[in-house]
Amino acid sequence: VPDASDGAALGTSSLEFSDLFLADAAVINLGDDQDVTLTHVVDTGILLSSTDRFQFGDAGTFIHQSSDGVLTIESDTTVDINAAVVFDGALTGLLQ
């Protein structure tokens, strides 16, 4: 048990733990006020809380659910897709 908020670490830079086992529907709370959570969705995957986002490199490159049913991929300059792309729905906003 930590002696203060942000007062303890699990392991060190030279003495790391190897595995972590969590139960079905486990929640990892992040932040002093637990404003970001990762929740295990049984037999499905992981759920990121609310409108939070996964950032890559800096705050300008991220993936998030911008509104119900909408997945937004944002980047400062370019999003590279290096594989075949299959669209199953309407395409909007394309340059001609």
Q: What is the DSSP string of 7-55?
A: ---SS-SSS--------TT-EEEESTT--EEEEEETTTEEEE-TT-EEE
52 and 66 in contact (C-beta within 8 Å)? no
Q: What token pair was written down for 78?
A: 């370019």
pTM, to two decimals: 0.79
pLDDT recorded at residue 51: 85
With a cut of 70, say whether residue 96 has pLDDT above it: no
Q: Which has the minimum average pLDDT: 13-17, 24-28, 35-39, 66-70?
A: 66-70
With a cut of 90, say whether residue 2 has pLDDT above it: no
Which tens digit of pLDDT belongs to each residue from 11-25?
Answer: 999 999 999 999 999
pLDDT recorded at residue 95: 65
What average pLDDT score do residues 42-63 get?
95
